[in-house]
A and B are shown apart, each in its own frame.
Chain A
Amino acid sequence: MADVQNTERDSVFAKALKEGIISGAIALGLFCLIVGFRTEQNIRNELILTQRWGLLAIFVLVAAVGRFLVTYTAPMRAERKKLHKVAEAREPSAFRKSFPKIGLGLLFLYPALVVLILSAYQGSMMGGLQASLKYVDNFGIQILIYVMLAWGLNIVVGLAGLLDLGYVAFYAVGAYSYALLSAHFGLSFWLLLPMAGIFAATWGIILGFPVLRLRGDYLAIVTLAFGEIIRLVLINWTAVTKGTFGISGIAKATLFGIPFTPGPTGFAAMFGLPNSGVYYKIFLYYLILCLALLTAWVTIRLRRMPVGRAWEALREDEIACRSLGINTTTTKLTAFATGAMFGGFAGSFFAARQGFVSPESFVFLESAIILAMVVLGGMGSLVGIAIAAAVMIGGTELLRELEFLKLIFGPDFTPELYRMLLFGLAMIVVMVWKPRGFAGSREPSAFLHERKMISGEFTKEGHG
């Protein structure tokens, strides 16, 4: 018996070795001319051939060793996969179960923690406050805006299974609603926040009506076109939107009427604090955190409502839905409208935070990034999507911080430029290892005996 296993192991090793060598040879052939040689023009316009054997060797070695490892571990992985293949997802560990609560606590403490740590580091409270600006604003607020957007899109894509490539249009509607209405009518943020949501929801329904009959690819194309139309209108309707110049000087949000200005009526003076811009940022942080949590709360509640179940049923099988007396038209429209509403909220927040909006902020890439978060996180799973958003936005922000990379790759290296490359790599890696996203299992909305997670193998992605 042991002998058999040994020979098996040997044969796997031999096979892996062979495949590794072949991969190395292929890599050598492929990269020999591309990587191994480099031509440069010197001042006299002469071509100079430089040889880079070291780099070529690295490429070939990576290919060979990688292939060897993949082949060698294949039987083990297959075995493990077999064990994993059970109907219901595994019982989550204690950490995973309490993760949402821990995460929530951390999110609420995050600004305080950052200020404390940085104060201790810099030795002064004020210095800590100033230094925390970057972490609260660039990391905290930026990530939470995307978390909220992704949770909003999750209603449309993850729950109802309608592929929406133009989600950023609703974000734009919300942002411009706030910018224009506050500029022209001087309305406050707190009044315009719900209005922006309502406007965006209205646009969601307007988009929803023509695309109701479409499914899958066709729906995706029409929503993509819708996103572009909104952006082009914003660029070209210069009389209202000032085109590509954008709208600047947008009123800031206030804390129940207390403005965050340096004057005597301002927040800092009122509470006897030293003047600093960081209070507004921290306020914005908690504001977006609350908005994002509102999105999550509504989503969780809606999933237990008949309409939420109807969305998920729609994703699973539209014809069966109709046979059960569910009006698929209104169900789809409510999904579009609800998703769009949260996009609108996020948009008006975005305008209040930036103080400036221009069509530049609402390009297709934004839609794609938000959709990528929903897909990577696991369709329908709030925690997974939040993690995906944190990784993707936090990761790209983190790239700016990686100064040590300049020591390795030379002073010309700007890691931010590799953002999209890393993005793509991350997508591929996650989709290969976890095709259903970080959180591949689905939590049922009701149970009779016990709440069992449902493996992603059974859920469908919807037909658009």
Chain B
Amino acid sequence: MVSEVQKNTSAILRVERLSMKFGGLIAINDLNFEAKRGAITALIGPNGAGKTTVFNCITGFYKPTEGMLTLTRQNGEEYLLERMADHVITKRAKVARTFQNIRLFSGLTVLENLLVAQHNPLMLSSGFTVLGLLGFPTYKKAAAEAIEKARYWLEKINLVSRADDPAGDLPYGAQRRLEIARAMCTGPELLCLDEPAAGLNARESAELNKLLLDIRADTGTSILLIEHDMSVVMEISDHVVVLEYGTKISDGTPETVKNDPKVIAAYLGVEDEEVVELIEKAEEAGVDDITAAVDLLSSEALHEIVETHPDAQPVELIPANTLLETAPAKAAATRKVSAKTAAPKPASPKAAAPKPESPKTAPKPESPKTTAPKPASPAKAAGIKAGATANALAEPRGGKADKLILIKGIGPVNERKLNEHGIFHFDQIAAWKKADIIAAEAYLAFDGRIAREDWIGQAKTLAKESQAKPAPKKTGGAK
């Protein structure tokens, strides 16, 4: 069977010009890709990239706005999935799926879950219930076979001993495996897994890898999976498709995708943006201690903050446009505000990065009590804002600023702040000296981050690139 599979290398699923719009929102925009027969294809991308929407289109839960989804079965039959109802896709086109939030029949036993999955063949053998009700032997035989098939899969996922327990009583990892086994009981040729490793620990996710490889080896089933866990993606997938904002940004083997700068930018960029968004929300809500909110990095945290400070004065943490004094003094003053409620933590909007441990090289703004300005940069007040760095410009050269957010660590908010302080171009950052860094860090409220993230180095390379060619397009950047 496996050899036959390998002979037939044509694509099992072809996605052509797939688009999905929800009202004005474009969830998928003109997506093309192929899933090879007998291969494991991974669909990755940041949150909200449209991966699950693609799945829902393939499995018929959504009707795509445009596009063609062609599934070719082993026997050569071709199905146009976008024209079929969801249950017909499973029944005839042999596509099975799992869900991001596990959808087991929690009140049925583990075994029953697997029997429900064999509904269609059993329905046939029971003569659409009539023969079965009258006790014809064909149904009895088919029922026994169905239980055997269920037992086979239970052995695979290591749950034979719990076959008679309610599915809702299983631990989380076992529920994930059971959902995969249930999908396999429909006898699929294409198995679509929506984040199968979500919520699993390292050992469980290694077991999952093995299970998926086993499934492919034993049954020849092609697998299409959405995954965030890179260990799963990189280890088992033969082919990776990367989505961002509904558009394909990369497509190839795990190795090529991993090193694709667009993919790196997409992942890091979005991560940064989420943080920045959070900060902006927090600022609106008048939160003093941003670090806590960022650490939690969830909307729940925000709700909590809003609830606990319902009537807090909207304190702008870093009122960049009113900066008139020297930067460090102002930063210290800002801290004083925050010190009222929270311990003076250095506000670091980068959640993923470790907390700045007050690096010795970078000068830290003074403790909240001292308001004395530190004689830092050679403060050029001049035309532009105070506290600006030495090479500040009144306006961008040629009226067009570089996209500073391309530098890892700079998000839209910081880009705006830098612009307000006369920094518009990569070469400006590249030319920063130590004093300039101190000044910039003061108004950005960063502690040593510029050095740690090597902004200057990044800026240098980017400056070189931008001279060579226009900067690559980055969606969702400065608006």
**Chain A residues near B (Cβ < 8 Å):** 87-88, 298, 301-302, 304-307, 309-310, 312-313, 315-317, 319-328, 334, 442, 444-452, 454-455, 457-460
Residues on the B chain within 8 Å of A320, using CB: 99, 103-105
The CA of A313 and the CA of B143, in the complex, are separated in Å by 17
The CA of A178 and the CA of B99, in the complex, are separated in Å by 49
The CA of A446 and the CA of B122, in the complex, are separated in Å by 14
The digit string for B108-122, where 1 denotes a CB below 8 A from any CB of A, is 110110011111101
The smallest C-beta distance from A437 to any residue of chain B, in angstroms, reads: 14
The digit string for B149-163, where 1 denotes a CB below 8 A from any CB of A, is 011001000001001
B119 and A306 contact, CB distance less than 8 A? yes
With contact pairs A316-B106, A328-B87 given, residues A305 and B132 touching in the complex (Cβ less than 8 Å): yes
B interface, how many residues as a size bin?
35 or more
B182 and A324 contact, CB distance less than 8 A? yes
Residues on the B chain within 8 Å of A324, using CB: 87, 90, 96, 116-117, 119, 182-183, 186
The smallest C-beta distance from B121 to any residue of chain A, in angstroms, reads: 9
16 additional A-B pairs beyond A323-B59, A454-B107, beta carbons within 8 Å, are A305-B132, A306-B118, A306-B129, A307-B126, A310-B119, A313-B108, A313-B116, A317-B105, A324-B182, A324-B183, A325-B87, A326-B116, A327-B87, A444-B164, A447-B109, A455-B166
Residues on the B chain within 8 Å of A454, using CB: 107-109, 166
**Chain B residues near A (Cβ < 8 Å):** 59, 61, 86-91, 96-97, 99, 103-109, 111-112, 115-120, 122-123, 126, 129, 132-133, 139, 143, 147, 150-151, 154, 160, 163-169, 182-183, 186
B103 and A305 contact, CB distance less than 8 A? no
Partner of A322 from the list B86, B117, B122, B166 (CB cut-off 8 Å) is: B86
Partner of B164 from the list A307, A312, A323, A452 (CB cut-off 8 Å) is: A452
The CA of A324 and the CA of B151, in the complex, are separated in Å by 18
The CA of A72 and the CA of B164, in the complex, are separated in Å by 39
The CA of A321 and the CA of B96, in the complex, are separated in Å by 11
B160 and A460 contact, CB distance less than 8 A? no
Residues on the A chain within 8 Å of B86, using CB: 322-323
The smallest C-beta distance from B210 to any residue of chain A, in angstroms, reads: 24
B119 and A326 contact, CB distance less than 8 A? yes
With contact pairs A306-B123, A324-B182 given, residues A458 and B133 touching in the complex (Cβ less than 8 Å): no
The CA of A307 and the CA of B117, in the complex, are separated in Å by 12
Residues on the B chain within 8 Å of A459, using CB: 106-107, 166
With contact pairs A306-B129, A307-B129, A325-B186 given, residues A458 and B99 touching in the complex (Cβ less than 8 Å): no
Residues on the A chain within 8 Å of B123, using CB: 306-307
B103 and A323 contact, CB distance less than 8 A? yes
- Which single residue of chain B is at the shortest CB-CB distance from A459? B107
Residues on the B chain within 8 Å of A312, using CB: 105, 107-108, 112
With contact pairs A309-B115, A310-B116, A447-B111 given, residues A316 and B105 touching in the complex (Cβ less than 8 Å): yes
The CA of A213 and the CA of B129, in the complex, are separated in Å by 24
Residues on the B chain within 8 Å of A449, using CB: 163-164
The smallest C-beta distance from A96 to any residue of chain B, in angstroms, reads: 19
**Best-surrounded residue of B86, B183, B186 (most CB of chain A within 10 A):** B86
- Which single residue of chain B is at the shortest CB-CB distance from A450? B164
- Which single residue of chain A is at the shortest CB-CB distance from B179? A320
Supply 23 A–B pairs (Cβ within 8 Å), ascending by A: A301-B132, A305-B132, A309-B112, A312-B105, A316-B107, A317-B103, A319-B103, A320-B99, A323-B61, A323-B87, A324-B90, A325-B88, A326-B119, A444-B109, A445-B112, A447-B109, A447-B111, A447-B163, A450-B164, A452-B164, A455-B166, A459-B107, A460-B106
> Considering the complex of A and B, which 4 residue pairs feature the smallest CB-CB distances, nearest first?
A459-B107, A325-B90, A316-B105, A448-B163
A448 and B112 contact, CB distance less than 8 A? no
Residues on the B chain within 8 Å of A322, using CB: 61, 86-87, 90
The CA of A196 and the CA of B83, in the complex, are separated in Å by 40
The smallest C-beta distance from B39 to any residue of chain A, in angstroms, reads: 22
Partner of A305 from the list B96, B126, B160, B168 (CB cut-off 8 Å) is: B126
